[in-house]
Chains A and B, each alone.
Chain A
Amino acid sequence: MHSSPLLRLTRLGGLSLASAIAGTIALAAAPSDAAAERRTSGLEDQPAVRHRMLLVAKRFELTPMFESTINADFRHIVGGGLKLEYHLSDMLSFGAVGVFSTSLDTGLVGKISPTLEDSVDDMTREPSDDEFLQHLNEMPLHGAAYVSLTPWYGKLAAFGKAFVNFDFYFQAGVSFASLKSNCDSSICDDDHPGTVDDTDPDNPIQPDLNPNNDPPLNDGSRVGLYLGGGIHVFLNEFLALDLTVRDYAFSDNPSGADFDANLYVDDNDSRFMHHLFMGAGLSIMLPTKVKRTP
């Protein structure tokens, strides 16, 4: 039998008829189809987390940061800078990072340098200490502009006490760097590396085939690719610890020496190289108030 729900409702006093009718229509209309869909989940299209704090969406992120190379060959690049990012949504953002740095010799340089000749001797293939050190370059400024994707977010409990939110993000974009090398003219005194100097046609000067006195050609501006990945660990609603691994990839020749073994230094000795950095910063999210998802 299919009795009318409306008739039963009229026997109940004190109820809001409109609410009951609306509820009845909505719910009683379904059963005829319900059997077939009994095992259909009503949550299929629902988000994984409700009432989630949108810790990054529609917010500016300002991050004073520290950054250092990982496993550099000749010189560690260590510096501080700023990251500025705007989060279009809780997954997509764009931003830029810039870092001013100083350079520190690696342990490898510390081992090589003391064993080299104290003074220049062009009769040997071995560089002097000055020739070796002055060919190495530095990176006083570097940075990137990027698009960032934050596909993972979550929360963690540390020692069962501290519960914090976090997210993982991945970045890709364009990197830039300003490289600097200071080779004194008394050291890098070959003005025609690898070529014949025929300013005096009667007495052409053959290349000396000594790369140690060639200009290093490893300074100036570089543009390349940028990849990064990191984690925000939110200390509260507007402060987050920001840990990042960044790869600034561009053409470089850190040693400033002959790479392709043609016995002189030219632009072909530069190659596309990855400059891997690890950074840590404190992100300030603006505005400081967060919204929640429904």
Chain B
Amino acid sequence: MRRTPQALIIALAAGAASLLGTQASFAQDGDDEIEVDPEEGTGEGGEEPEIEIEEPPEGDLEADTASLEAESSAADEAVKVDAKVGDYKVSWQDIVTVIRKPFLKIRRWDLMPMLATTMNDNMVRHVSAGAQLSYYLTDVLSVGVEGQYYSKSFREPFDLVARQARRLPTINQYNFSGALNFHYVPVYGKFAILDKNIVTWETYFTAGLGITQSEVVPRDPRFPGFTNLLITPNVGASMRFFLFKWMTVNVGIRDYLFVDKFEPVNRDAMTNATAEDAKENADSAFINNVMFQLGISFWLPPTFEYTTFR
């Protein structure tokens, strides 16, 4: 009941808007898409023109994003209402069409437990568990360290080659690795899932330098294997999907490059019988160990504040 006068004002505004034309709606016919988050509204049609936006709960990225979208909707409402005033026109140029980045990384720590598996070795599959800790110097550049522990399993061709071609493959397994890495974020974007939920994501490239310990798997178990500590540059690309202010999901591919030392072909009781001799006469080969990685990042501090204007 008490809202009726306000409703009248709105009604007048609607009528005036219908008379004044639809310049505002024409302005929408540009190239920009308009994103709408159904979680956030602007009130019923008869409400007062100003929009009340509740502060999103701490650590809720989705609510934060919705809040930003609602602000855009508020501006949209302002265009319709203020058109009747005549002395102050709000144009679409005044509306922020590019919202603030929904996730800030600068001066935050990224702790990422991860799992990884070999992509390019058809003899032995390594699965690794590890973690990566990075610090973002800026919103697009970070420096960090990583460590992984590997577990191996032989794949079908390992047995087939031995059985069908009567040849024993020369195999090295990887035990652990560590690296100092730099990450750079050149690509960011957003996508809609089933035309409903909008998810933001980014792509980052990684380059680093570290070490890997490999270990020879002896073809003949009578002879001992040996280990190698290998200098290991790495390069890679990953995608990060933002779920909350404090958590993201990462998938990526990383190429670990090193020159590995393999068991020499000639090895018997008289030749290369000891680990030292075998290592001395090892065959070297350049290896690309390409791994698919999946990780969940936990961000510290778990929230952030914007320090610039919209």
Contacts and interface: CB of A to CB of B under 8 A. Distances in A.
Interface stretch (A16-24, A80-88, A93-101, A222-230): A16-24
Contacts of B164: 127, 211, 255, 257-259
Contact of A34 (B3, B37, B40): B3
Interface in B1-23: 1, 3-8, 10-16, 18-19
Given A41-B41, A126-B166, A52 B8 contact: no
B35 A49 contact: yes
A155 B189 contact: yes
Contacts of B18: 16, 19, 23
Interface stretch (A1-9, A176-184, A191-199, A201-209): A1-9
Interface residues of A, number: 72
Interface stretch (B195-203, B207-215, B224-232, B272-280): B195-203
Interface residue SS majority, chain A: loop
Contact of A27 (B45, B122, B186, B199): B45
B50 to A, nearest CB: 13
Contacts of B12: 9, 12, 15, 20, 23
B44 A157 contact: no
A153 B42 CA distance: 26
Given A24-B11, A71-B119, A258-B164, A31 B4 contact: yes
A125 interface: yes
A233 to B, nearest CB: 10
A71 B35 contact: no
A266 B197 CA distance: 53
Interface of A: 2-3, 5, 8-9, 12, 15-16, 19-20, 22-24, 26-28, 30-32, 34-35, 37-53, 70-73, 90-91, 106, 108, 112, 115-116, 124-127, 132, 151-159, 166-168, 211, 255, 257-259, 261
Given A26-B45, A47-B36, A159-B187, 6 more contacts: A23-B14, A24-B15, A27-B46, A38-B47, A127-B164, A153-B191
- Nearest first, the 9 closest Cβ-Cβ pairs linking A and B are A154-B191, A156-B189, A41-B41, A23-B14, A20-B15, A31-B3, A24-B11, A257-B164, A19-B18
